[in-house]
Amino acid sequence: MARESALKKAVWGAGVLLASLPALAQTYVEGGLHLVRMKVTVDGETVRVDPKMLGVTLGYDLTPYLSAEAMLATGISSGTGILNGAPGSIRIDQAVGLLVKPRWRVNERVEVYAKLGWSSIRLSLEGQDGGSYQAKDNTYGVGASYQITERAYASVTYMALHKENRFNVSSVRLGVGYRF
């Protein structure tokens, strides 16, 4: 009886997998290095720091000209600077985002795109005051990708992740991706 149940589950799972293959064909995954530029202003003094993040993006092609994406990134290095006379560092613990990506194919290998959406960034501050900070904001960017093979591609993307008077975060992302 248990063997029969396991066989039914396996057949059911195979059926679901086969039924989802057309949807999988519109899916892509991209990994990348984010070279972050952060500007922080406290008490009229501004410091620029350059932490780095590694990220992964899962995307789904809604139409030939529009995709939806979910992004997750984590810091791999801190940015250091001097603020109010004291050394300190800022590390991006986590960045998540939900984006839409209008895109236009320039030729057989090159595609340009815009990204619009929402992101949340969590930072750790080390130094004089310490603590953490979380920012949620609208996100936008532009980029281009180059098709290396039928399924693999390389990309470069500029993103404005958070902008306010005392705290701005942007990044250039160097990525490689795979279309299923």
Partners of 159 in the β-ladder? 141, 171
Instruction: Assign a CATH topology to domain 26-179.
Output: Porin (2.40.160)
This prediction's pTM:
0.80
Instruction: Return d(Cα 128, Cα 103) in angstroms, integer.
Output: 44
pLDDT digits (tens), the chain, 180 positions: 555 665 666 667 655 655 555 556 689 999 999 999 988 777 777 788 889 999 999 999 999 999 999 999 999 988 887 766 777 788 889 999 999 999 999 999 999 999 999 999 998 877 666 678 888 889 999 999 999 999 999 999 999 988 877 778 899 999 999 998
Q: Helix or strand or coil: residue 120?
A: strand
**Where do the domains of the chain lie?**
26-179
**Rounded to whole angstroms, how far apart are CA atoms 48 and 81?**
7
